[in-house]
Amino acid sequence: MGSELIYRGHESQPVTDEYSPKPMKPWLTVIRPIRYLLREQRLIFVFVGIAIATLFFAVLPSSRSPYPAVDYNNGNGHNHKHIYNAISSSESFLPTESGGAHRFSFQQNRGGIGSFSSGGKIPLGLKRKGLRIVVTGGAGFVGSHLVDRLIQRGDSVIVVDNFFTGRKENVMHHFGNPRFELIRHDVVEPLLLEVDQIYHLACPASPVHYKHNPVKTIKTNVVGTLNMLGLAKRVGARFLLTSTSEVYGDPLQHPQVETYWGNVNPIGVRSCYDEGKRTAETLTMDYHRGAGVEVRIARIFNTYGPRMCIDDGRVVSNFVAQALRKEPMTVYGDGKQTRSFQYVSDLVEGLMRLMEGEHVGPFNLGNPGEFTMLELAQVVQETIDPNAKIVFRPNTEDDPHKRKPDINKAKDLLGWEPKVPLRKGLPMMVTDFRQRIFGDHKEDGGSTTSTSTV
């Protein structure tokens, strides 16, 4: 008979596999981190590290500032302090970031044509970030030169143009560049883009073109400007409107300052352009005051240069084309009307300085050197053909008698003034016209502007 080993007193106790740890004491969660810090002098090392970091960041900016301030005299006896740097010596002025995605200040260009001054180098690790910029009318005369400068500066550029006056040839040299895009689009229709800045140049600017379809012209100025201002509001972009000296009409004040309200015929044949631009300025300021859009307004005076349309009816292009073709130069009226002529590179620099500056405007951008039409014809004769003839025709309707900008505001607030005199800039335009008129297209030629005016 087998025996049984009986453990008495344990039969009634349940058997379980669960483990019940000893409950934690609540004060241990506070004591353990303190013990860890006090052990092996860890707390001392923490305070020493904080002190070293504070000293490093306090001393570093004062030892070497990456943005030196430079004083220069602007020619009016006023010294202005500008912050600048230069990315390369091949650009006349280059921006540096100073307080925002859109805020930049520029180095003054002290040279003439093709003369560029160089500043300090960008500190290691502080490379300028390129902006995404849309240029409406960017395939036109002024627009294409602006695109060249923006691409050269390192920005990504989207050109929007319906090619009514612009030409693909003006921007073809950028095809294949990953920072360049071209969109065939009419700004009268809405457009959705993500951009940092908007240069709004789109509008036919010569009388031949804007009189061709006056209703379309005023729609471009009003509806097109509304669409681009709406885009600026939606994406938080800075907006620059290229207005015109035509907002002064046939001025009763000479020279014209920005505070002058003008003398414009609201029902004349030029009103689609004159009043259209005045309305565009109104819309721009209303968006600025009412919706907080960052805006800039430039009033552009007569501009000339390569890629200008050969037969657009403007006086410089007319005279040059006629002299090259051995045709008489046509002077309308008595030839005593005055105009001021700026070279396109000067205008582009002014537009960029205005966009990157902190002042809304409006700013007159033009060359205050004043010429009568007869004097201009004589300069063209000297440049192209001393034997070129001059003929007179009846004056056109609402043609201003005097046009000369007062640019003191641009000098004082933007540090800008034109550098290229007419007798120096005109030969470069003549070279471009000669190549295009006589069929030599080795160099980039183009058409019209979306900004400069007669």
- State pLDDT tens for residues 116-125: 333 345 555 5
- Nearest partner of 265 among 248, 244, 279, judged by Cα: 248
Q: Report pLDDT for 449.
A: 37
124 forms beta bridges with none
Per-residue pLDDT, 81: 39
pLDDT beyond 80 at 20: no
Cα–Cα distance for residue pair 122/127, rounded to 1 Å: 7
286 vs 199: CA distance, rounded Å: 18
Model confidence at 193: pLDDT above 80: yes
3-state secondary structure of 204: coil
- Average pLDDT across the chain, whole number: 79
- Which of 82-96, 165-179, 233-247, 339-353 is the least confident region? 82-96
Residue of higher predicted confidence among 103 and 333: 333
Q: How far is CA 390 from CA 355, 421, 454, in A?
A: 41, 23, 19
Instruction: Please give the average per-residue pLDDT across 325-330, as a whole number.
Output: 90
Residue 339, pLDDT score:
86
| CB atoms near residue 272 (< 10 Å) | 21
Lowest mean pLDDT among 88-92, 252-256, 291-295: 88-92
Active-site residues: which are they?
Answer: 273
Amino acid identity, position 366: G
**Which of 127-141, 277-291, 423-437 has the largest mean confidence?**
277-291
Q: Of residues 79 and 30, which shows the higher confidence score?
A: 30
Q: Is the pLDDT of residue 107 over 60?
A: no
Residue 311: predicted pLDDT? 79
pLDDT band at 44 (very low <50, low <70, confident <90, very high): confident
Residue 85 pLDDT class (50, 70, 90 cuts): very low
Residue 439 to residue 323: CA distance in whole angstroms: 16
Q: For 384-423, where are the E strands, in sequence order? A: 390-393
Position with higher pLDDT, 12 vs 21: 21
Q: Per residue in 122-165, pLDDT tens? A: 555 556 678 999 999 999 999 999 999 999 999 999 999 999 88
Q: pLDDT tier at 31 (50, 70, 90 boundaries)? A: confident
pLDDT at 380: 92
**Contact in structure between 137 and 161 (CB atoms under 8 Å):** yes
Round to whole Å and give the CA distance between 67 and 69.
Answer: 7
pLDDT at 21 exceeding the cut of 80: no
Report how far Cα 33 is from the mean position of its chain's Cα atoms. Answer: 57
**For residue 178, cis peptide bond before it (omega within 30 degrees of 0):** no
Highest mean pLDDT among 338-342, 350-354, 392-396: 350-354
pLDDT at 319 over 70: yes
Closest by CA position to 145, among listed 416, 357, 347: 347
User: What are the CA-CA distances from residue 87 to residues 69, 114, 121, 351 (Å)?
Assistant: 16, 17, 7, 19
Which stretch of 207-216, 312-321, 365-374, 392-401 has the lowest confidence by average pLDDT?
392-401
User: Is residue 355 over pLDDT 90?
Assistant: yes
Q: Where are the beta strands (DSSP E) in 233-343?
A: 238-244, 295-300, 303-304, 329-332, 338-340, 342-343
Mapped onto helix, strand or coil, the DSSP state of residue 169 is helix
Terminal CA-CA length for the chain: 131
Is residue 413 packed enough to be buried (19+ CB in 10 Å), middle (13-18) or exposed (0-12)?
middle
Strand segments, DSSP code E, in 168-237 are 180-184, 197-200
C-alpha to C-alpha distance for 118 and 388, rounded to whole angstroms: 43
Of the listed ranges 83-87, 222-226, 237-241, 440-444, the one predicted with least confidence: 83-87
DSSP per-residue letters across 332-392 = ETTS--EEE-EEHHHHHHHHHHHHHSS----EEES---EEEHHHHHHHHHHHT-TT--EEE
| Distance, CA of 46 to CA of 162 (rounded, Å) | 64
Give the pLDDT band (50/70/90) at residue 56: confident
Kindly tell me the sign of the dihedral angle through the C-alpha atoms of 451, 311, 313, 386.
positive
pLDDT at res. 127: 62
**Contact assessment for residue 164 and residue 445, using Cβ atoms and an 8 Å cutoff:** no
Range in 15-24, 137-146, 399-408 with the lowest mean pLDDT: 15-24
> Does residue 91 register a pLDDT over 50?
no
Q: Model confidence over 169-180: pLDDT tens digits?
A: 999 999 999 999
Who wins on pLDDT, 95 or 20?
A: 20
pLDDT above 70: percentage of residues in the chain? 74
DSSP state of 41: G
pTM over 0.75: no
